[in-house]
Amino acid sequence: GDSVTQMEGPVTLSEEAFLTINCTYTATGYPSLFWYVQYPGEGLQLLLKATKADDKGSNKGFEATYRKETTSFHLEKGSVQVSDSAVYFCALSDPSNYQLIWGAGTKLIIKP
Partner 1 sequence: SQTIHQWPATLVQPVGSPLSLECTVEGTSNPNLYWYRQAAGRGLQLLFYSVGIGQISSEVPQNLSASRPQDRQFILSSKKLLLSDSGFYLCAWLNLRRLSGANVLTFGAGSRLTVL
Nearer to partner 1 by Cβ, of 80 and 92: the residue is 92
- Number of neighbours of residue 1 by Cβ within 10 angstroms: 7
* Nearest-angstrom CA–CA distance, 45 and 30: 23
Total interface residues for partner 1 by CB under 8 A: 21
Q: Which stretch binds partner 1 (CB under 8 A): 12-20, 61-69, 73-81, 96-104?
A: 96-104
CA angle 92, 95, 96 (to 5 degrees): 120
Nearer to partner 1 by Cβ, of 64 and 105: the residue is 105
Q: Is position 7 an interface residue for partner 1 (rule: CB under 8 A)?
A: no
- Torsion sign across C-alpha atoms 99, 103, 107, 108: negative
Q: Is position 49 an interface residue for partner 1 (rule: CB under 8 A)?
A: yes
The length of the chain, given as a count of residues: 112
Q: Is position 75 an interface residue for partner 1 (rule: CB under 8 A)?
A: no
Q: Is position 63 an interface residue for partner 1 (rule: CB under 8 A)?
A: no
